[in-house]
Amino acid sequence: MKKNKTTTPKLKFSGKWDYAAAPESKDHIQLNEKYDLFINGKFTAPESGKYFESINPANEKVLSKVADANAADVDKAVRAARNAYDKTWSKMPAKERGKYIFRIARAMQERARELAVIESMDGGKAIRESRDVDVPLAAAHFFYYAGWADKIDYAVPGIKAKALGVAGQIIPWNFPLLMAAWKIAPALAAGNTVVLKPAETTPLTALKLAEIIQEADLPPGVVNIVTGAGATGAALVNHSGIDKIAFTGSTEVGKMIQKAVAGTNKKYTLELGGKAANIIFEDAAIDQAVEGIINGIFFNQGHVCCAGSRLFVQEGVAKTVIRKLKDRMETLIVGDPLDKNTDIGAINSKMQLDKIKQFVKIGINEGGECFQTSCSLPSKGYWFRPTIFTNVSQSSRIVQEEIFGPVLAVQTFRTVEEVIEKANNIPYGLSGGVWTDKGSKIFKVTSQLRAGVIWANTYNKFDPTSPFGGYKESGMGREGGLHGLTPYLSLEY
């Protein structure tokens, strides 16, 4: 690997940064050996008779066996959802519906520790993140949309809004519980019933959510959870009893879904891939910007659709920023997701790890200069060192394609016009970041970046009241806020 002398790390850490392990306890969590499908308020054995293993990516040990739903199972779940919609949920006064959603939110808070530990074990993310970000935000989404349930008549002034019916929802593995909350909470608040399919590698917190839904005494069939792989998702998309599909995942599968629902009455929202530009101007507060770069790309191992995976640094500060960035990267602790010191946990699956490695090879073959931190990695499990590439060009594959791992591509620029041009020259348009001391520059740049969400002098800040979603190949529709409620409503003008 080539090294650039002017930007090699300057600080010598010489072991001073080692911390004593501070593992979160697993004693308080309970995982069943086997999980069935959650249909009509009960855990139900799959018609398929098949189960698959969910493993801990940090040690490759099996956590539980989970039912693999086939088309007959999906049909059962959709029928249960339809029945619950027709007979119970659509007839219930809105404020009563709201009470159930509030109850789910409170139960999630009560079981927050358990949910956080399971999320970290099943998906590999650092406990600090699942504890402080995923679980609180997931509960916040239920709280926020619970408040909307009895205010739907005021959601769009002068327009009569009605629920759509049954929503089919498919979620990815990077924020399993949070994505379940993003999907289920607005759907229920708008008066729909749902069938949710979690990702194959991370089904466990959704199944814990099913337990919470049972405890909350939600009428049977209002929420159904069918676990399985891509075929289960496809059966849900193609089911004629579905009124709306909400999908988060890859652009490739998003396009397949779009084709599948074309010509039907199904509504759909797609939250797909991204390749965000994180732009650092010379007048930015450099140390804060470096923290923002770290957060932008290494949060959740870089398994983030809005990750700041393309860094643009203005030429005058490029050397300083890259040197400080490498120094800061050397302090990142990669390892046991349950250790409270850990900054970067395990890569979610072997498949994803292989994909990241493949992209790094491509980057090197394309002539990029690769820098990886020198941290030690555990011997078992799926791990990848924080990595940055310099000397890459706009046409490099690692600049154009979503890697979904802890790999950052760094480019430089001279003028505002140049960086806007480069930032927008990409098939995606989900998110971005701008770092500058000048408010006027923030407005100029953010108004010209073609991205759904742009942070200024910060990165990766989420709030249930704030809409999130993309342009171009990053998808269509918004989640969060009022914008995330209306796709679950039929608006009669």
Residues annotated catalytic, as ranges? 271, 305
**Is residue 233 near ligand NDP by the rule CB under 6 A?**
yes
The SS3 assignment for 135 reads helix
- Looking at the Cβ atoms of 193 and 352, the one nearer to ligand NDP is 352
- Looking at the Cβ atoms of 200 and 479, the one nearer to ligand NDP is 200
Q: In 443-460, which positions are buried (b, 16+ CB within 10 angstroms) versus exposed (e)?
A: eebbeebbbbbbbbbebb
Distance CA 44, CA 79 (A): 14
Distance CA 488, CA 282 (A): 44
From 355, 357, 444, 483, residue interacting with ligand NDP (rule: CB under 6 A)? 355
**Is residue 172 near ligand NDP by the rule CB under 6 A?**
yes
**Is residue 248 near ligand NDP by the rule CB under 6 A?**
yes
**Is residue 197 near ligand NDP by the rule CB under 6 A?**
yes
**Is residue 353 near ligand NDP by the rule CB under 6 A?**
no
**Is residue 352 near ligand NDP by the rule CB under 6 A?**
yes
From 112, 229, 285, 456, residue interacting with ligand NDP (rule: CB under 6 A)? 229
Minimum CB separation of residue 406 from ligand NDP in Å reads: 13
**Is residue 269 near ligand NDP by the rule CB under 6 A?**
no
From 92, 137, 155, 256, residue interacting with ligand NDP (rule: CB under 6 A)? 256
**Is residue 174 near ligand NDP by the rule CB under 6 A?**
yes
Which range of residues in 29-37, 115-123, 210-218, 271-279 is near ligand NDP by CB under 6 A?
A: 271-279
Minimum CB separation of residue 200 from ligand NDP in Å reads: 3
Closest CA to 79 of 239, 311, 268: 239
Which range of residues in 126-134, 225-233, 262-270, 383-391 is near ligand NDP by CB under 6 A?
A: 225-233
Which range of residues in 77-85, 246-254, 310-318, 357-365 is near ligand NDP by CB under 6 A?
A: 246-254
Nearest position to ligand NDP, beta carbon: 233
In the region spanning residues 433 to 492, those forming contacts with ligand NDP, defined by CB under 6 A, are: none
CB 78 within 8 A of CB 168: yes
Can you say how many angstroms the Cα of residue 276 is from the centroid of all Cα atoms in its chain? 14
In the region spanning residues 276 to 335, those forming contacts with ligand NDP, defined by CB under 6 A, are: 305
The residue with tokens 């090294």 is 3
- Looking at the Cβ atoms of 260 and 416, the one nearer to ligand NDP is 260
Retrieve residue 468's tokens: 């999130």
Three-class secondary structure assignment of 139-185: HHHHHHHHHHHHHHHHCCCCCEEEECCEEEEECCCCCHHHHHHHHHH
Minimum CB separation of residue 271 from ligand NDP in Å reads: 6
Could you tell me how many helices (H) and strands (E) the chain has, helices first?
Answer: 15, 22
**Is residue 404 near ligand NDP by the rule CB under 6 A?**
yes
The count of residues interacting with ligand NDP (CB under 6 A) is 26
| Element housing 232 (H / E) | helix 230-238
CB 167 within 8 A of CB 195: yes
How many residues comprise the chain?
493
**Is residue 199 near ligand NDP by the rule CB under 6 A?**
yes
Q: In 378-409, which positions are buried (b, 16+ CB within 10 angstroms) versus exposed (e)?
A: eeebbbbbbbbbbbbeeebebbebbbbbbbbb
CA of 72: how far to CAs of 49, 64, 226, 322, in Å?
11, 23, 11, 54
Binding stretches for ligand NDP (CB under 6 A): 170-174, 197, 199-200, 229-230, 233-234, 237, 248-250, 253, 256, 272-274, 305, 352, 355, 402, 404
